[in-house]
Amino acid sequence: MNLFESIVLGIIQGITEFLPVSSSGHLVVLQGLFGVEGPRLFFNVMLHVGTLIAIVIVFWRDIVEIPKGILAALGGNRGTRSLPSALWRSAQGKLVLLIIVGSVPAALMGFFFEEIFSHLFASPLVAGFMLMVTGTILWFTRGRSSDSKGMDEMGVIDTLIVGLGQGFALIPGISRSGITISFGLFRGMEREWSGKFSFLLAIPAIFGALLMEFRMPSELSSQELFFTLAGTAVAVVVGYLSLRTLMHLVKRGNLVSFSYYCWGAGAMTVFLFMRWS
């Protein structure tokens, strides 16, 4: 990998992380085309860190409110109520619990199947097939109107189902934003809240993946580290601009149009790499 390639991948990550077209799938395919070898998963995670920073910048007001909710629950007059019950009764506290509960499925899947997911990141064919699966999931959001289920009406089952979607998104080619927003819509969630919760739910997932990958810093040369940081910086800038723009698309709920792209990109990927293999 050279500097130009890392910048291109950073741009792709910054755009596709927020569009429901699978950033990981695009990175795996492009790395296969570029012939990138070595610690692909670490590079991918670092690009996700760039978009994580973009998420924090865009949703900083919601994030700042989270500690306030915890402190209010800890310091308030809870009476005989347990801490989870007290958190659930406050808006900020409930958001904390929703993020924690929604993070459980992906955490368990990542812990028990880490080696499998690592191998999948070396397979553009898998990414191609899973892009077509993403397109199919997005297609089934067609005709789904935005219902009235916001954060106040969201329950544990709703949260676990959305979190399960995030777990499946560990497979390259499955769009994390696409599947979590789609699962939220299937559960009758408001479009704007479904989009916001999807991105807030990404914060602990990306942070956890970062901690896991930092076990292997010695595998990177100084040149590879520089290229990785350059790609990450590009992902921050492009990701911020993309998220500001693309949240409007989420609010409008026009996810079906992206299914055609996913089907086309997935089919082309499968065709090319089956022919070259």
| Tens digit of each residue's pLDDT (9 = 90 or more) over 5-32 | 889 888 988 988 888 888 778 878 877 7
* Residue 219: pLDDT over 90: no
- Contact status, residue 166 vs residue 176, Cβ threshold 8 Å: yes
Q: pLDDT at position 150, please? A: 86
Neighbouring CB atoms inside 10 A of 196's CB total: 22
Q: pLDDT at position 27, please? A: 74
Maximum average pLDDT range among 18-22, 156-160, 226-230, 242-246: 156-160
86-91 CB contacts, 8 Å cutoff, 24+ apart:
91/65, 91/151, 91/152
* Residue 143: pLDDT over 80: no
Between 89 and 132, name the one with better pLDDT: 132
* Residue 221: pLDDT over 90: no
Q: pLDDT at position 263, please? A: 96
Q: In the chain, what are the domain boundaries?
A: 3-276
> C-alpha angle 197/200/202, rounded to 5°?
110
Q: pLDDT at position 78, please? A: 56
For residue 239, what pLDDT band results from cuts at 50, 70 and 90?
very high
